Structure 1
Amino acid sequence: MKRVATALILSTLFFFVGWATNHRELAFHWAPIIYHGVASDQDYITRVDFDGDWIGNNNWENQPTGDLSAHVYYSVIETETHYFLFYSLFHPRDYEPWCFPSLCHENDMESIQLVVRKDGNAWGALEAMETLAHNRIYLYVADYSVKPGYLRMQGKILREDGRPVIYVETYGHGIYGHRIKLKKGTVIYRPGEVGEVPEGTGEEVTYALVPIYDTLWQHRDEIGPGKLFDQAFEYRGVVLGAAFDGDDWGEDKANSPWGYPQALGTELSRGDWFLDPAKAFAYHATFPEPFSRTYLFNPYLEDLGLLGETR
C-alpha cells in the first residue's frame, strides 16, 4: 500500500513539474525579440533585484553599481482554448536627458501580452499581442480574423525567426509592436539561457526569462514606504500594490504587473489585464470562437481565492 501511495505521489509530482516545464518552454518559444533604444546603460533591461535586495526606493541610486544583466519577467495563464503569455521589462530608471518630477521616475516596468490559441500543435498559434507604452495599450493581430473591440487595431504583429518583434523607446521605455525611430543607439535582445550585459550600442545580446510567480508575486504583500511595492489598491476585495515604491523624481510611478490601470473602459478593473487576461482580451478585441474564459491554470487568482469567480 505504501508503495502504491508513493508511486501516486511521484507520478503527481512528475505531472505538475512537467506542466510547469511546458509552460516555461512555451514562454521561451514565443519570447519576443526586442529592439531597444539605448542612450546609456540606464536603458538596459534587468531584474528588479539587480542590486541584491527587494527594496524599491533605492533602485535609482543603485543603478550605476548594480548587475545589469538582461532579464525579462514572464507569466503563463491557460484557459480551455488559449494561453496568455505576459512579459515585463524592468529598468531601475525612467529618465530623460534633463529630469523633472513630471518626466523621470524611479523604477519602470512596461509589459506586453500575447494570446496563443491551442490549435493542436505543441506551441499553438499566435493570435494577438498587446503592448504597453506609458498610458496606452496597443493591439496587434496575427491576421484579421481577430477584430477590434474596445481597442483599435494597430496592425499586424511583426515577426523575426517566428518570434514577435517589439520596439522599446529610449529613455521612457514605452513598448510598441510597430517600428519606431529609436533615439541614439540600439541594442537587440534575443531570448537565451543566460542574461548578458551589453557593452554598448549596436550589440546583440541574450536575455534570460524570470517567472513572475516565483519572484515578484511572492513579494506582493510587501507594500509601503521602504518596501518593494506601494500605492495599495483593492482587487476584488484583496489588497495589492499598484506600483513599485519609488521616491526619486516622480513618486511610485512604475506599475506592478497587476497594477496597470490602462484600457479599462467600462467593463474592466485595475489588475484585470494581468490577473484575468481572458476577460481583458475579450473586451479589448473580438476573437474567433471558441474563446473560453474558464481557466485551467491561473495561480494568481487561485492564490487570491478568486479562481472560479465570474466577473
Structure 2
Amino acid sequence: MRINRFLGVAVLAAALLVAPAPTPASAAVGRAELALRWAPIHYQDVDATGTHALGGRSDYITAVDFDGDLNGRNNWDNAGTGSMAAHAYYSVVETSTHWYITYLFFHPRDWVDHPFFETEHENDGEGVLLAIQRDGSDYGVLRGAVTVAHSDFYSYTPAGSTWTNGRETIDGTLQLQSSPHDVFTHPVTAQESKGHGLKAYPQYNIDGDGLVYYPSTVAETPSSGNDRDVRYKLVDIFAAGGLWAQRANASLFASLGTFAGDTTGGCGSGTWGCSTNSANAPWGWDDGNDLPGRGELASDPAKLVTEYFTIPGGVSRSYTYNPYSGAAAALKEAARTAPPTVD
C-alpha cells in the first residue's frame, strides 16, 4: 500500500509538470483576431455595362495576386480570367492607448464606360483606417474612422463616440451592423462602382446590382454581380512575403507605395485615356489638401487622428508596434519627391 501511495504521488507530480497551464480568460487577443473583429461589412456597387466592366467582374474585390503572380502591369489584362475570390488586406499598429487598423480593398481595374473627361487606370487600392481605444476589454472601443475615396479622405465617428471635429469636419456617422457569420457588430463601408471611392455606408450604396461582403477567414467568389452574402478573407500586410515585404518589388510597385500599372490590355480604349502607375497601397495614400503627409494614414495614424478629430485625453504618439516606422524616413522622402497620383 505504501509503495502504491508513493507511486500515485509521483505520477500526479509528473502530470502536474507536463500539463499545460490553462489560458487565462482575459488573455489578450492577437492582431489577426482584432482585425477580424473590427473588419467592415462592405457594400460594393456593381455596374455590368460596357466592355470594360467584364459583366460586373471589374467591381469585385480580390487579391493583388488574383492572376497567380505579383506583376502589377498585367492585372487589367487578366481581370477577365483571374480568380475573383474575395480578399482584403489589413495592418495593425499599436500605441499604449489605441490600436489602429488599416484595411485595403483591391480591384484590378479603375474603369469608366464613356469617352468624356475621365481616365481609367490599372489597379485600384482604396480603404479605411479604424481607430480603436484600448479600454481594458479584449477588443477595445471603436472611436473613429477615416476612409479613402480617390485622392480625398473622409472622417466618421460611430454613435456615442467621444471624438468630435478636429482640423477637419466629421463627414458623417459610421454605422454598425450585425454579421450572420459571427457574433459581432461591424462598421459598414461601401464602394462605388467603376472608380471605387470608399466612404461610410450609405454615403455610397448599392444602386441596382451589388455585393455585400462579410469579413471571414475564407475567400468566397460571388455567384453573380448581385450576391448579398459573400465572405472575404483577411490578409496581413505585414505577413512574411506579404505586401509590405514586397514594397521594393519593381514588378508590383513603380515606387514606394504606388502600384505599377501600364496601358496594355485595352485600358483607355473608347475612353478619355489610361494613366499609368496611378493606384496606391496604404503607405501611399494621400489627401493633398489636408495636413497629414503621404502614407501617414497607415504609417503614423496617431498623428493623423489628432488632425482629424478632437480627442478627450489625447492619444499616445509612441508606437509599441509599427513595422511601417522602420521605413519612415524613406516614406517621407518618397512623399516629398513623388509625382501626384490620380487614384
Q: TM-score normalized by structure 1?
A: 0.84
**Aligned pairs, how many?**
277
Equivalent position amino acid for 2:189 in 1 = I
Q: Pairwise mapping of residues 15-26 of structure 1 onto structure 2 (< 5 A)?
A: 22-26=30-34
1:172 to 195, 201, 209: 195
1:73 and 2:110 equivalent? no
Q: Is the 8 A contact 2:191 2:205 kept in 1?
A: no
2:259 to 244, 265, 274: 244
SS in 2 for 1:41: helix
- Residue 298 of structure 1 and its aligned partner are, at CA, apart by 0.5
Q: Pairwise mapping of residues 3-14 of structure 1 onto structure 2 (< 5 A)?
A: none
- Residue 242 of structure 1 and its aligned partner are, at CA, apart by 3.2
- Residue 265 of structure 1 and its aligned partner are, at CA, apart by 3.0
Aligned partner of 2:232 in structure 1 is 207
CA distance in structure 2 between the partners assigned to 1:118 and 1:242 by the alignment: 29
Q: Is the 8 A contact 1:193 1:207 kept in 2?
A: yes
Aligned partner of 1:257 in structure 2 is 282
Equivalent position amino acid for 1:189 in 2 = Y
CA distance in structure 1 between the partners assigned to 2:70 and 2:244 by the alignment: 12
CA distance in structure 1 between the partners assigned to 2:309 and 2:287 by the alignment: 15
Aligned partner of 2:35 in structure 1 is 27
Q: Is the 8 A contact 2:35 2:90 kept in 1?
A: yes
Q: Is the 8 A contact 2:143 2:161 kept in 1?
A: no
Identity of aligned residues (%): 37
Q: Pairwise mapping of residues 294-305 of structure 1 onto structure 2 (< 5 A)?
A: 294-302=318-326
- Residue 181 of structure 1 and its aligned partner are, at CA, apart by 4.1
After superposition, the Cα gap between the structure-2 partners of 1:173 and 1:302, relative to the gap in structure 1 and judged at 3 Å, is same
5+ residue gaps, structure 1: 1-17, 233-240, 307-311
SS in 1 for 2:73: coil
1:61 and 2:61 equivalent? no
Larger Rg: 2
CA distance in structure 1 between the partners assigned to 2:115 and 2:87 by the alignment: 26
5+ residue gaps, structure 2: 1-26, 48-55, 179-184, 264-273, 331-343
> Aligned-pair RMSD on alpha carbons?
2.2
Aligned partner of 2:165 in structure 1 is 148
- Residue 156 of structure 1 and its aligned partner are, at CA, apart by 1.7
Structure number with the higher strand fraction is 1
CA distance in structure 2 between the partners assigned to 1:285 and 1:263 by the alignment: 18
Aligned partner of 1:222 in structure 2 is 249
SS in 2 for 1:291: coil
Q: Is the 8 A contact 1:170 1:183 kept in 2?
A: no
- Residue 102 of structure 1 and its aligned partner are, at CA, apart by 3.7
**C-alpha deviations, 1:183-227, integer Å up to 9, x for none?**
34111000112101101133111000001112110111123xxx1
After superposition, the Cα gap between the structure-2 partners of 1:101 and 1:70, relative to the gap in structure 1 and judged at 3 Å, is farther
